[in-house]
Amino acid sequence: MSYVKTRMDGPVAVVTLDRPERMNAISGVLLDDLHDALQRANEDAACRVIVLNGAGRAFCAGDDLKEFGEQSATDATIRSHIERIQRITRDLMFGAKPVVGAVHGFAVGGGFEWMLNCDIVVAADDLVAFFPEMAWGQFVTGGVTHLLPQAIGHQRAMELWLLGERQSAQALLSMGLVNRVVPRDAMLDTAMTLAAHIATRSQTSIARLKRLVTADLTNTLSRSLELEFDATIEAFADPDAAERVKAFATRKEPAR
C-alpha cells in the first residue's frame, strides 16, 4: 500500500500525502513513497510543476509518534529516519521542478518544514502550523534553522521554535511564509491555477531560476542540514526526550 498518490493534470504532477487516518503523519513508508513520487516528477519531461498536498483533515501532522520506538531503536535506525526526512527537503528544494504547496488543516513539525521547503504556498483558511519539537525534546530539520531566520528574522524564528505556538493561515501570511490564503474548498483549485500558469512559462528559464536561487543555498543549507542531523540524533538518543515523546503520545504531562 502506498501512502503517496500521484496524478498528472496536463503538465502538473499532483503529489498527495495519502495517510488520512493518521493525518499524514510521517512514517518510514511515507518517506520512501514521497521520495519516489518527487523523484519521478522531477525526472518526467512531461511534468513542468509539482503540486504537493495532503488527503483528509491535514497536510501533515509531523512525525508519527507511534513509530518513535522503532525509529529510535538503534543508532542506525535513527540515522536512516533523519536521512530520509532530509532527503525530502532536497527533493523539494533542489529538484528541477517548481513546487506549489497546497496546505490545509495541520502542518506540524516536519509538515511545517515541508511547507517551508515549497517554492510557493497556497494555504487554506483552516491551516494551523507549529513546531512542537522543543516541547518534545526533539529538534527541527528541513534546513529551517537557516531558512526561517532568513525569511522572518532571528527573533521571530526563535519565537516560533521556542514557544511552539500555533500559527493561523493569516498569521503565516503576515509573516510572508505563505503566498495566498483561500477558503478550504478553493485551496487545491487555486494551487492548480497557479501551477498551470507557471507551466506556461519558459521551462529553461524556470529551471535556470531555480538552479540559481538554490545555488546560493547549496553550501549554507547543506551545512544547516548536517548540523540539524547531528542535533536530531542527539535528541532521539536523549532519555528525557523519549519520555516526553511517550508522554505526549499518551497525552500525559512529562515529569519535570
CA angle 91, 96, 101 (to 5 degrees): 60
Assess contact for 132 and 206: CB atoms under 8 A.
Answer: no
| Residues 198/204/207/208 CA torsion (nearest 10 deg) | -120
d(CA 95, CA 17): 18
d(CA 138, CA 228): 11
Q: Which one-letter amino acid corresponds to residue 167?
A: Q
Strand-pairing partners, residue 52, are: 15, 101
d(CA 15, CA 12): 9
Q: What is the mean pLDDT of residues 228-251?
A: 80
In the numeric block, which cell numbers belong to residue 14? 499532483
What single DSSP character describes residue 126?
Answer: T
Position 189 in a domain: yes
Q: How far is CA 31 from CA 39, 80, 232, in A?
A: 12, 11, 17
The pairs formed by 240-248 with CB atoms below 8 angstroms and a separation of 24 or more are: 240/137, 241/136, 241/137, 241/138, 242/68, 242/72, 242/137, 243/137, 244/135, 244/136, 244/137, 245/65, 245/68, 245/136, 245/137, 245/138, 246/68, 248/65, 248/132, 248/135, 248/136
Provide the domain count of the chain: 1
Largest distance between two CA atoms of the chain: 57
Residue 143 has pLDDT above 60, yes or no: yes
Q: What three-state secondary structure class fits 132?
A: coil
| Per-residue pLDDT at 147 | 94
Position 87 in a domain: yes
Position 219 in a domain: no
Which CATH number fits the domain that encloses residue 47? 3.90.226.10
Assess contact for 108 and 94: CB atoms under 8 A.
Answer: no
Does the global pTM surpass 0.85? yes
| Per-residue pLDDT at 74 | 85
Question: Per residue in 183-217, pLDDT tens?
Answer: 999 999 999 999 999 999 999 999 999 888 887 77
Q: Which domain holds residue 84?
A: 4-199
Question: Per residue in 76-106, pLDDT tens?
Answer: 988 999 999 999 999 999 999 999 999 999 9
d(CA 54, CA 17): 5
Position 121 in a domain: yes
Residue 70 has pLDDT above 90, yes or no: no
Position 214 in a domain: no
Position 213 in a domain: no
Position 59 in a domain: yes
Position 106 in a domain: yes
